[in-house]
Chains A and B, each alone.
Chain A
Amino acid sequence: MDGASVSVQGLGKRYGAVRAVKALGIEVRSGEFLSLLGPSGSGKTTLLMMIAGFEMPTEGAIRIGDRDVTYVAPNRRNIGMVFQRYALFPHMTVADNVAFPLRMRKVVKAEIARRVADALALVQLQDFGKRLPSELSGGQQQRVAVARALVFEPPVLLMDEPLGALDKKLREQMQIEIKRLQRRLGVTVIYVTHDQEEALTMSDRIAVMRNGSLEQIGSPIALYDNPATPFVADFVGKTNFLEAVCHSCNGTGLEFGLGQSGFIHLKECPPTLPSPPRPGDKIRLAVRPEQIRILRLGDSDRPPLNGVVEAIIFVGSFRTFLVRLAGGELVHVQAGTDHGMAYPQEGERVGLTIPSQAVQVFPDRRQ
C-alpha cells in the first residue's frame, strides 16, 4: 500500500464563540510520519477528528491525495484510525474486530480470513484471533487496534495518543514497532501526542500546535535546535529562559546583559531574528541545559556568568545542577555522568559558559 498526501488548507473549527482550530494549513507528504504535538486544548485532537470526519470544519478544506474530503462522511474516507484507548469492540473477538472494516466493505469471506490472518501476523498476534479484547494486555489491545486500522490498507493512518495508556517501557517498545511498521508499509501517519519525547523519537516532521494554531512545523532536529518561538523552545525539550537587555551590537558580536547576574556574549547576530537588536532592546534568551558548561571556580576567578549550585538531581545517565545566578534566576545545567570528573558540590560557587550557537534569541514579547 502506498501513502497518500494529506493537505489541510485554511481549516477552522468553531464551537460557539470558541475557536478550537484557527485557519490551519498543513501539507503532509505521502508516506510521511507527522506528529501533531501540543498541550491539551491546543486543537491537535480536533484537527485529527476533522481529518477523520468525526467533526465537520466551519471553514477550510481537507484533501487526501487529490480527493476533497472536507464534507465526506467518516465511513467513506478510507482512513485508518487508532483511538486513544483503542476503541476495540468488546463484544467481538480479536479476529472479528480486525475483520470488521472488511465486512463493511463487503469483501468476500475467504479473502477476509486471509487478510485478517495477514494483519494479525503483521502485529505478531497470529494466535490471538479467537480471544476477546478484554482477555488481552494493554499492549496487545493496542496492536489489535493497529491491525484493525491497517487491514483495509488505507493510504492514511491517524493515531490519537495511541500509547498514552501504556507504561513507559512498553510505550518505548511500541514506538519502535509502530515506526518500523509505518516504514515497511509506506502509509502516511498523522500522530497526535502531547509527549514531546515520543514525537521527537518517531516523527519525520513535527507540527507544534498551540491555541488552535500552528506554532512551527519541521523535523525534530530543526525544532530542537532552532525553535521558532519561545513556546516551541519550551515545549520541545527542556530550556532555560533568561530575560536580557542588549548592551551592544557591532562587528565584534552582540552582548546581552543579565542585570546582576552578568552578561552573555554572542559572536554574531542569530539568523532567526528579523532584525538585529539595538542597544537597550529587551530580549529573551533560550539555552538548552545540556549546552551550558559548568566550571568550578578558584577564589579569584570572575567569569561573566556565575552562580551558586542550589541542588543536584541525579537522573542516571546524567545529572542536573540547579544554579542560582547572582540576579536570582535559576538555571538548569545538565552534565553527562563522567566518573573521572570532580563535580561541584551543593552550595559551591560555579561559573557557566555558553557557546554562541547554543543561544536562541527572541524578541521579548510576553508569551
Chain B
Amino acid sequence: MHAKPSAEGSLGSRPTSAREYGPVLSLLLVSPLVLLLVGGFLYPVGKLFWGSIFVPEASFANYARILQEPLFLLVLRRTFEIGFVVTALALLLGYPVALAMARVPGRAAILIAACVLIPLWTSVLVRSYAWIVLLQRNGVVNNALIETGLTDTPLRLLYTQGAVIAAMTQVLLPFMILPIYSVVRNIPDDLVRAARNLGAGSLLAFVRVTLPLSLPGVTAGVLITFILSLGFYITPALVGGPSTLMMSTLIGQQTTELLDWPFAGALAAILLLATLLLVIVFRRTLAFNKGFKLG
C-alpha cells in the first residue's frame, strides 16, 4: 500500500478533505484491478467479438447464419423457453419458502435458511452430478419407480429437457428465494396484523398487503434467475443431451468440437447482448451496486 503520501499532499493534487483519498492515490489503488479486468476480461471478450465480425474478413455472415439456420434459431428459442420455465418454477417453489423463512419464528427460520444456503454454497458441478445419479437408467428415481410398481422398465430421464429443467431449477432456486426473502423480511409485521385487525382474512391480508409489498423482491429474483439461466453451462452440459442444446452448450460445442471461433464469438455476442440488455434495463431493480451504496 502506498497510501502514505496523500495526507502529506506530496502525491498529486492536494486533497481538499482527509475524508477522501486524492485522485492520484485512488487511481493507483484501483489500477491493479483495472489491469486485471482489462487483461483478463475485456481484452479476451473483445477479441472474441472482434473475431465474430472481422475474421476471416469483415462481415456479419456469422450473425446471419444464426438467423438463417433453423437449428440455431431453435437453440435460441429453446434457451429462452427453458429460461422462462425454470424461472416460473423457481418462483412457484421459491416464494412460499421465502415467505416461511421470513415469517416463521426463531429456530425454524434458521433451519429453512440452512436448507436454502447449503445448496447455494455447494459447487454447481457437484449438484449437477447428483442429478445424473438421481436420473440415470439405474438411478435413484428409476429404482424407486420400479420398486413402487409405477413402471416395469426404467424410464429415460437423463439427457431430456425435463432433466435440464429440474436440475436448473434446483440449482437456481436459492437465487430466487433470497431476494424475495430480504424484501418480505422488511415488511413490518404490524402491517399484516393491522390488515387482519381491519377484518381481512389471512388470505386477503396476504393478497392485499404482503404480496404487493413483496413484488420488488419477486422482480429481482425473477430477473436474476432468468439471467443466470440464459448463460448456464455446467448443468445443461452434464444433464442435457444433443436434444437439449442451449446457447451456452452450443457455444461450447462450436469451440471444442468444431473449432469455429468466429461463429462461437457471434453466439457469445448474442448471449451477452441479451444478458446486458436485461441488466441495463432493470439495473435499478437488480441493485448490483448494493455493496457500494448501503443504506
Contact = CB atoms under 8 A, between A and B. Distances in A.
Contacts of A71: 9, 14
Contacts of B19: 54
Contacts of B7: 73-75
A46 B18 CA distance: 13
B15 interface: yes
A73 B8 CA distance: 6
Contact of A54 (B8, B9, B14, B18): B18
B9 A73 contact: yes
Contacts of A53: 18
A338 to B, nearest CB: 51
B139 to A, nearest CB: 53
Contacts, number: 20
Interface in B1-55: 7-9, 14-19
Contacts of B15: 56
A198 interface: no
A54 B9 CA distance: 13
B9 A55 contact: no
Interface in A68-113: 71, 73-75
Interface string A103-147: 000000000000000000000000000000000000000000000
Interface residues of B, number: 9
A56 B17 CA distance: 6
A56 B18 CA distance: 8
B17 A55 contact: yes
A333 B15 CA distance: 52
Chain A contact patch, size range: under 10
A317 to B, nearest CB: 43
Nearest to B19: A54
A289 B19 CA distance: 44
Interface string A29-73: 000000000000000000000000111101000000000000101
Contacts of B9: 71, 73
A16 to B, nearest CB: 11
A55 B18 contact: yes
A38 B142 CA distance: 79
B8 A55 contact: no
B18 A74 contact: yes
A53 B16 CA distance: 10
A261 to B, nearest CB: 50
Contacts of A56: 14-17
Interface string A274-295: 0000000000000000000000
Contacts of A54: 17-19
A100 to B, nearest CB: 16
Contacts of A55: 16-18
A73 B15 CA distance: 10
Contacts of B18: 53-55, 74
Contacts of B16: 55-56, 58
A75 B7 CA distance: 8
B142 to A, nearest CB: 57
Nearest to B16: A56
A326 B8 CA distance: 65
Nearest to A57: B16
Nearest to A56: B16
Contacts of A74: 7, 18
B172 to A, nearest CB: 40
B96 to A, nearest CB: 41
A11 to B, nearest CB: 14
A54 B15 CA distance: 10
Nearest to A15: B16
B12 to A, nearest CB: 14
Interface string A311-344: 0000000000000000000000000000000000
B65 to A, nearest CB: 54
A122 to B, nearest CB: 28
Nearest to A55: B17
A125 B181 CA distance: 47
A56 B7 CA distance: 11
B14 to A, nearest CB: 7
Which of B9, B15, B18, B19 has most A Cβ within 10 Å? Answer: B18
B129 to A, nearest CB: 43
Nearest to B5: A73
A54 B14 CA distance: 12
7 contacts: A54-B18, A55-B16, A55-B17, A56-B16, A71-B9, A71-B14, A74-B18
Nearest first, the 10 closest Cβ-Cβ pairs linking A and B are: A54-B18, A73-B7, A56-B16, A55-B17, A73-B8, A74-B18, A75-B7, A54-B17, A56-B14, A73-B9
Interface of B: 7-9, 14-19
Given A53-B18, A56-B15, 13 more contacts: A54-B18, A54-B19, A55-B17, A55-B18, A56-B14, A56-B16, A56-B17, A58-B16, A73-B8, A73-B9, A74-B7, A74-B18, A75-B7
